[in-house]
Structure 1
């Protein structure tokens, strides 16, 4: 039954040889890997205006120079990451660049920051998409958590079906959003030029008495949240069709161009229309209402905006599993993240991302606005480390034309470092937890790495000197009575060795005498040892007996504990029986260096 549901949701298993069919074209990659960055135009301008409103309505004109500054930073990042793509065509982005050029610890800082950022991306995007829906339909505001969780579940299932299939499904909404925003911008500009939609707004350069550099820097850092997701293309180069690095670079340039045009367009319309943030209506919703009224086009824009905000999480679903794979390959994350699922995606990474982001949504009740600064810091730390790593690379290698590349990465490093510091200084009360959480994540990376190294060291053998040791075998079979299950287990044990002993634990002398009499009558050719338990415990006497056998024979024989087990026809039948065998197995696994085996006997009634 469960397998049928899995096949229905996930699809048929794919052969390993079909991996090339799962690679992305530029058209699909732009939709999958750029959805996070493109969606940020829905809230980037709004984040700037929220901060500026602290100085009053007169300060909103500052949103234009701040938006231009954000656009400049976007340009620097696009060209910087383009260089990273060609320098590291196997992907990994900031983690690989920093580890290769700045050391393992710095690389893990970049990798850990990105992993946290991707989890926050899913939580913030699903909540922001819910905000867009509730702006159009306020009656749904009470169901925001359920709406966000439903979308996370949908994206998790879609990505478990494979990256190509999810790209095919999700490309249409992404391109519809781009089309809708450009229709909104062009229509809004035409309306403004033709004399409609004018509002009484402060002119550019108007003096504002209570404005401060601190406030402007805070607004700028908030606007830089629109740049999250820019690094995703450089992380996911292995997901592209060949030539992978060229296709990735072209996708990155397309994304930067589209993002820049949409972001500055929304900022200009918000200023011209005198839009200010509202508690239950987004800035994009207000612009659309002013441009078209609350008609079909308004709901089309709100619908596509909600979709893109939800689908922004899909960028994380593409990048998180691949980054987790690379960390696992280097032994800094559990090896389960290296396993490809039925549809050739890294399923464990996809499920892990979905579960953690859903927990965040539940914890914050869908109000993840306070996570946006943490979300932005989580990506600007890797931005800075990646640029610094590329600077070190150019100085070390000095290839032809390296100086120009070095200058580009230097500008990128100092700019992103400044933004990171601005975020920390202006929003410390919202991002302080990164200074606690990130060291813990790095510590866990090192602990996992040390565990894998210790295991490898302990399991390694000298192939010239160490060979298998041939020993005899003594089999101990715990029995609870004389049944077909016991007979089946003894038959198997005797087929392996003549050194078989059955052990019975009784609670009183009468019980033990009855068992010894029946055993003698049955005479299976196996010696029975009876043990008395004064405290009604089966496990304790068995353990003492096994210790005795182990001490006497471990030099000459392998000790095998052969546990009889009947398998019920229906799963719920298990609750009707004692699970002594399971308890015995669990105890032996953790406390004894003996072989543990189970002989199943399947019941038919």
Structure 2
């Protein structure tokens, strides 16, 4: 094998199924065992329908719309004719046009047009591949969180050291060296993650795959808190940069922050590619401006022989100790948040996905190391110290650019990158919920892709949670940072530990070297995790420590619900009811049910269903007669039930029933306490208890009003019945609408 062939073989990742974010995730195919059971159920249908009439499957209209050569009259959708909303695609298949998603009503249509103007027109599912990003777009989109942390990471570290007095500030340089080493090791570790999981895998998938589902949930909980806090901290820091340059805006911190979150929400709902194009320029501007700041600042320092300017006198609040140093280290480590964004988002890259992701990750870590180390050194040489009212970066920029527009450019670019740093969370948080929902640990609505091919439900959930936290803490960055490090480094630790287990299980070329890199990353991340949890527990980290197990418990409860749902809805081999063998069903509903004996809803083929239609009738008007006609069209057995407050009214109603012709059996219930819904519900419940094998179909007339406020003028009997009877298996509520003109 030649040298190039050897290099390509070594670079090729392990073969794993490709995971793409597509609408198909909401509709998983049936397994082979489910298909086998489905064939058995289908055979029972064939047995039940073998003697059906020849015209049994004929329909009164053509569902393919082929017969309608001329467009029908406009419908309630306005000028759009119903036929124009669909077009023939394949035999017995129609293709819905964009017009079908327009809602009814003028107000709803106006809101839909406004939404389309803000978010853009809907995208077809086939456009999902076009929404992928190239490296030049992916770098700013996925690195904005990581790179923006240099604006507050060094300050967070120095804010702890300054408590021990001015002499302790010199420790920032060795701490920066350790943090740079940690960044490089963790970055190399995540390169290994992208290599091992080319289909995309963050801490949740790696920990679940290698350590078990429980560890995966713990990592996911840490990441969920990390992403929510990423938005809150980034927006708080961005607004802080604005108020540092314009102190008059300080009272508007909270409204400005909420407005920024709303803008990020709208931008990301427009789709991945559009959001990337919108937010790419500010990230590149920040990188360029920071490099210019470092070059000019170091040039000025070189003019004085790189002698550090003395900081202002600082009174020590507490003595210098190992605890203070560890707290400063943990605070500075928050600059690494967002480093795993690439491993989460591998599927959004253009092919070859994993190779482009690794290249982007390398550039991200390299830029982070240069900016973090350079800015910390420049802060040390400039002699500035943290104080309220102005960020360290603002002080350095004022000292470096004494005249000209550069100071304003530094603050503007910093504010933009900090505000847009939340965009990384907007990219990764919905994908994390996608993977969790796919495993049934999160609501399945997070699998849904919106009309712009974005995971809108996850984006909205992140926006609401971040806005609540931002509002609760009043937009103060330092108050939020103690909550920050625990969750993210917990996820880092579990991810790197899971990678060690992965290499040991799969082995392969150079697996020991790869495991060593991930093992070192796991140890260093664990040190930061323990340090942050111990030293910042009283400052607010206890909230994260408490929230993580609560999120895990919630996810497990969700999984338990879905497990029960899958068990209840799973296809089962058909059983043979007693009456199918020529035996009458026993009172009380006993019958042969070999599978799911405690489940009273096993009707999977026509011969399994025996139903009884019940029509509640208050008075014999048009609505009642329509409901009775519909019920009779379903076929026997059918009967009506009337609730009366007094015997006199019951007798009168029976006379009216006889006048109508007594075409159906009538049962009357006297309700001396004048209640209507409750006795009716109890009566239907009693019928169901007597024969749980009989499906009760309750046909209720429903008045459909044109004005929303007209609803309060009518009693919604059908809705009350649904709420009261929805817990009973084998009870169906059917509404027969009667539309009022106005």
Q: 1:226 to 1:294 in 2, by over 3 A?
A: farther
Q: Is 2:137 the counterpart of 1:28?
A: yes
User: How large is the RMSD of aligned CA atoms in angstroms?
Assistant: 2.3
Query: How far off its partner does 1:281 sit?
Result: 0.9
Q: For this pair of structures, how many residues does the alignment match?
A: 600
Query: How far off its partner does 1:58 sit?
Result: 2.4
Aligned to 1:483: 621
- Structure 2 gaps of 5+ residues are 1-107, 577-603
For the pair shown, which has the larger CA radius of gyration, 1 or 2?
Answer: 2
Q: 1:209, 1:598 → 2: CA distance?
A: 73
Aligned to 1:173: 282
Query: How far off its partner does 1:196 sit?
Result: 11
Alignment of 1:160-559 (within 5 A): 160-195=269-304, 200-201=309-310, 210-293=319-402, 295-429=404-538, 430-463=540-573, 465=575, 468=605, 469-523=607-661, 525-551=663-689, 554-555=692-693, 557-559=694-696
Q: 1:484 to 1:308 in 2, by over 3 A?
A: farther
Aligned to 2:713: 576
Contact (CA 8 Å) 1:58, 1:202: kept in 2 or not? Answer: no
TM superposition score normalised by structure 2: 0.77
Contact (CA 8 Å) 1:201, 1:271: kept in 2 or not? Answer: no
Q: 1:152, 1:330 → 2: CA distance?
A: 29
Aligned to 1:566: 703
Residues 353-396 of structure 1: CA deviation (Å, up to 9, x unaligned):
11111111122222252331221111111111111111122222
Q: 1:558 to 1:397 in 2, by over 3 A?
A: closer
Residues 528-564 of structure 1: CA deviation (Å, up to 9, x unaligned):
4332222232112102321343355554x42101121
Aligned to 1:595: 732
Contact (CA 8 Å) 2:193, 2:201: kept in 1 or not? Answer: no
Query: How far off its partner does 1:255 sit?
Result: 0.6
Contact (CA 8 Å) 1:113, 1:438: kept in 2 or not? Answer: yes
Residues 436-491 of structure 1: CA deviation (Å, up to 9, x unaligned):
22122222222222222222223334336575234443211223333333233222
Q: 1:124 to 1:511 in 2, by over 3 A?
A: farther
Alignment of 1:81-120 (within 5 A): 81-120=190-229
Farther off after superposition, 587-596 or 155-164: 587-596
Farther off after superposition, 248-257 or 469-478: 469-478
Q: 1:579, 1:212 → 2: CA distance?
A: 70
The list of structure 1 runs, each at least 4 consecutive aligned residues, that deviate by more than 6 angstroms after superposition, is: 196-199
Q: 1:282, 1:294 → 2: CA distance?
A: 19
* Higher RCO (CA-CA < 8 Å; seq separation 6+): 1
Q: 1:279, 1:589 → 2: CA distance?
A: 58
TM superposition score normalised by structure 1: 0.94
Larger proportion of helix: 1
Q: 1:14 to 1:539 in 2, by over 3 A?
A: same
Q: 1:107 to 1:196 in 2, by over 3 A?
A: same
Q: 2:244, 2:683 → 1: CA distance?
A: 71
Farther off after superposition, 230-239 or 594-603: 594-603
Q: 1:300, 1:558 → 2: CA distance?
A: 72
Residues 218-260 of structure 1: CA deviation (Å, up to 9, x unaligned):
1111111101000111111111111110010011011111111
Q: 1:310 to 1:209 in 2, by over 3 A?
A: closer
